[in-house]
A and B are shown apart, each in its own frame.
Chain A
Amino acid sequence: MKRGTRPSGAQTLQWVSERGIFFFTAALVAFAALFIDNFVSIVNITDVFHRAAPIGIVAVGMTFVVISGNYLDLSVVAQVATAAVVLIAVSNSAGLGLAVLAALAIALLYGVVNGVAVGYLRANAVIVTLSTTFVGLGILRWLSGGSIFFGPPDGPIRALGQVKVVGLPLSALVLVVMTAALAFLLGRTNFGFLIRSFGSNRTATRLAGVDTSRVVVGAFLITSLSAMVAGFVLAAFSNTAVSTMAQGFDFGALAAIIIGGTSVFGGKGSVLRTLLGVIFVSVLTNILVLSKIGFGWQQMAIGALIVLAVSVDTLARKAARR
């Protein structure tokens, strides 16, 4: 009897690790809608999207770096804050067009520096992006003096932050569009295929004649551009920007990616999974907030989820090998 049940246990684990996040996210949203007071209200749903959108946009972009087998990009903390501060500060003095161009140039610079160091110099991504975080945040705080920048109350950034699309804030639409575009890029294009194959087997991809270094630069560029968009969304939402505004985005985005079921060993995962991970974490946090459960418990829940998600994945793979 015991022998008979074992494969079914392994199958359950495998099902949970592969399809679980779709089911659990739906179940969590249904639970919240049914049992949590005030969850289904325009104010609350708007709030959930406002909080989820910036870190979600970072996470869908960073999925490329994770799937390429390079762990994460710690420097998104500096990148998001820099994009937000540049957008508001430069547009105050030199106009919106120049501000966007400046932010774009900085994002490209981050992507190229991180990508070249990791891709061409084969340096460890954690250390490279750690050092670019130090340098980037240092420059940002030094130049901004750590002060808060306000956009004009009748300016275009403020107006964009107030736009609603079918009742939802523009940031939610940006998150959805970014997810769709990046999901297409990762799942349906040659570049996406190369990222995934590099993540699952570096040597084989290299031996197949692919310029793998360039692929890695591409993954970091996508992350940087997403971080820039996230910075814009964050700045438009509050019409303010400060160098500390993206604290915790590095590991927060990675947590959503892992909970979505993307493997940090590279090769396995998808952008849609990351979106589900973001929704799952945001809805769970919202439920805890609405139930007046403190910040400490919220952090513990996220940590436990990371360990749980990866434990299930690991045990499923072990069971499959048996």
Chain B
Amino acid sequence: MGFKRTLKRDKRKFNKMLKTAVIDENPTFVTFLALCPTLGVTNNVANAIGMGISVIFVLAMSNVLVSSISRWVPDEIRIPVYITIIATLVTVLEMVMETYMPNLYTSLGIFLPLIVVNCIILGRAESFASQNKVKDSLFDGITVGIAFSLSLILLATFREILGTGGIAMLNIQIFSSENSMELFVQSTGAFLAFGILAWIISDLRMKQAKKAKKRRA
């Protein structure tokens, strides 16, 4: 009975954290962290999903490890310790991906080892995992990872549809690729698409904040 109750409480907590991570503190569209992979791998949806899953794995594992050892790590050397933990996890990920998903490994290219310097991961280790319990840190890692992946997928969908006329991974072709704006799968389009999406999202957030303020008054 006690176990069931804890499970229920955990589920509620997880959902609440997920909502905070995805909507209120979205790492990509609200705090603008980890811009390099956000722009670099979103030229198609498959890459974005691969990157998202990799980040969820590394973020959840690093949060768990950091929160379980942070009691014994001296304050002065905590950043090098965290970086070593993250780099080890990324190396494991690289080796697994090279063996089982060689296509994804080549198309993610340099952005796979660069997960080491992803600001979100070090930021969560420093600001959340080092001060919280293991279970909460695991939840935090997964929820923030999901928020990051969803943002990547949103941006990649936008870019791939405009740039190629469809989504290759799902075999969807909305309009002919001859009529597409190839610009959007290239580097210029990455900046433009992200800028436009960030604009729309910040506009929506401002409208919602104004509505909430009016309701309170």
> Are A and B genuine complex partners?
no
Interface residues of A (CB under 8 A from B): none
